[in-house]
Chains A and B, each alone.
Chain A
Amino acid sequence: MQAASVDIRKVNKFYGPFHALKDIDLAIQPGKVTCLIGPSGSGKSTLLRCINFLEEYDSGEIRIDGEMIGYDAPGRRMPGRKLRGMRRAIGMVFQQFNLWPHMTARENVAEGLIRVRGMSRAEAGERAAEALEKVGLGDKMANHPSRLSGGQQQRVAIARAIAMEPRVMLFDEPTSALDPELVGEVLNVMKALATEGMTMVVVTHEMGFAAHVADQVAFMEKGELVGVDSPARILHEPEDARIQAFLRTYHERNSF
């Protein structure tokens, strides 16, 4: 078996007295898509945000390609410069897109290339254009985010992340803020990325995406990782009663 791209071991996280992540163990293999599902407040976002250390974890280890993120040794924070170096290799896409409104689509994508990867303006502009072409927005490069639909904004956000050439991509409910008719265009871009072999961790409520694109599905509840398995095993023949209950409410809500 290959070494995991993201290796999460015995991770715990507290918000004050509240135990948000409980002994999480999860391995994410290179080139595979992992979907994180579970009820609201179960800790999916928290876990995802620990992977690039936007949120600090209190104990355990998270390793990116073998290197622990956030800490040089258990309990000893790594220097900011080193952490930033590791974050370059981890792309993140947010539910609210978080594009910078004072920059055009192209500038949004080029900014990180210039500031973080030290590229010249011209080269960064080239790369940004390529990344935007790839998500189907070659004709919208000069638009500011306010002149783009939600689906287009989210695709710019994906372009911004992939232009940095990350080894892992994290998605936190990338389609939850979108009107239903715009969900498809974003999922299609994500599918294309998966087909190219991008390692992806996706928090989602899109069970269709989880069923068809994921290589493994992880179910979380109340800060615990209840089960990790193939999409078929988790979504169609779950053994755990908590997963069954979650899927039952999901199906009830989505049928009429």
Chain B
Amino acid sequence: MFSIPVFLDSFYPLFLAARYTLLISVLGIALGLVIGTLICAARLSPYGPLRRFAAVWVSFLRGVPLLVQLLVFFYTLPVIGIDVPAIVAAVVTVGICASAYISEIWRGAIAALPRGQTEAAIAIGMGPRDVWTRVILPQAFTMSLPALINELILLVKASSLVSVVGIMEVTRASQAQAATTFRPLEVYIAAACIYLLINLCLAALGRYLEHRTAV
């Protein structure tokens, strides 16, 4: 039988674990934004080797599952003598993985801007810096917002994978909880509720931001 008290009791430890889920997703997307922007800039640069490096970066990270990336990264670090806490390794891996998708989101948004937008700026005598910061990026950002929120939601879900490297985020915590209580059904449904709650909040945030930036 489904036990309501067990179900409710499992929320507290899972809420604590949700801090890690959020930490990894939010720091992951922040890092992904920084690296992704650089990769996108490299992809659009006039310098050939830089463009090729960025293209390889993107296709490699999009072609290998995050779980495999995590395991490779996690077991490579000690071999090359880098000793960092598992959580740092997890954030970095998630961030690097996200950078590939984010750079493609940027690139798509920039490519979707009509050429006339930059031509109007150039015709007035604006230099490349102003054209980018005043005309291209603000519009690309607004256009990308739905895709970026979507990416964040994917990361929240993907963060369950870092349980394999021993971090007590929601999925790992629910496994532990299920093992001690012998009530997997209640515990995993509680975990599902927590993921759903986080992602519904993010989706609402996304709609709010979209609404605010809409012109």
Q: Which residues of A contact B (CB under 8 A)?
A: 52, 54, 80-81, 84-85, 87-88, 90-92, 94, 96, 98-102, 111-112, 115-116, 144-146, 157, 160-161, 164
Verify A102–B120 contact, CB threshold 8 A.
no
Partner of B127, one of A80, A96, A102, A160: A80
**Which residue, A85, A92, A101, A102, has most C-beta atoms of chain B within 10 A?**
A102
Q: How far is the CB of B18 from chain A (nearest CB, A)?
A: 36
Q: How far is the CA of A101 from the CA of B123 in the complex (A)?
A: 17
Q: How far is the CB of B210 from chain A (nearest CB, A)?
A: 14
Chain B residues with CB under 8 A of A160 = 120, 124
Chain A residues with CB under 8 A of B124 = 87-88, 111-112, 116, 160-161, 164
Q: How far is the CA of A96 from the CA of B122 in the complex (A)?
A: 15
B interface, over-half SS: helix
Chain B residues with CB under 8 A of A112 = 124-126
We find that the number of chain B residues with CB closer than 8 angstroms to chain A is: 20
Verify A90–B142 contact, CB threshold 8 A.
no
Verify B215–A101 contact, CB threshold 8 A.
yes
Verify A100–B120 contact, CB threshold 8 A.
yes
Chain B residues with CB under 8 A of A161 = 124
- 23 sampled A-B residue pairs with Cβ under 8 A: A54-B119, A54-B123, A80-B127, A81-B127, A84-B125, A87-B122, A87-B123, A87-B125, A92-B123, A94-B120, A98-B114, A98-B117, A98-B120, A100-B117, A100-B135, A100-B139, A101-B139, A102-B215, A115-B126, A115-B134, A144-B215, A146-B215, A164-B124
Q: How far is the CA of A84 from the CA of B121 in the complex (A)?
A: 11
Q: How far is the CB of A168 from chain B (nearest CB, A)?
A: 12
Q: How far is the CA of A160 from the CA of B135 in the complex (A)?
A: 15
Within 8 A of A (CB), among B110-157: 114, 116-117, 119-128, 130, 134-135, 138-139, 142
Chain A residues with CB under 8 A of B134 = 100, 111, 115
Beyond A54-B123, A102-B142, A116-B124, 9 additional contacts (C-beta under 8 Å) are A80-B128, A81-B127, A87-B122, A88-B125, A91-B123, A98-B119, A100-B139, A102-B215, A160-B120
Chain B residues with CB under 8 A of A102 = 138-139, 142, 215
Q: How far is the CB of A214 from chain B (nearest CB, A)?
A: 22
* A145 to chain B: closest residue by CB: B215
Chain A residues with CB under 8 A of B126 = 84, 112, 115-116
Q: How far is the CB of A119 from chain B (nearest CB, A)?
A: 13
* A92 to chain B: closest residue by CB: B123
Q: How far is the CA of A99 from the CA of B142 in the complex (A)?
A: 16
Given A94-B119, A98-B120, residue A84 in contact with residue B139 (CB < 8 A): no
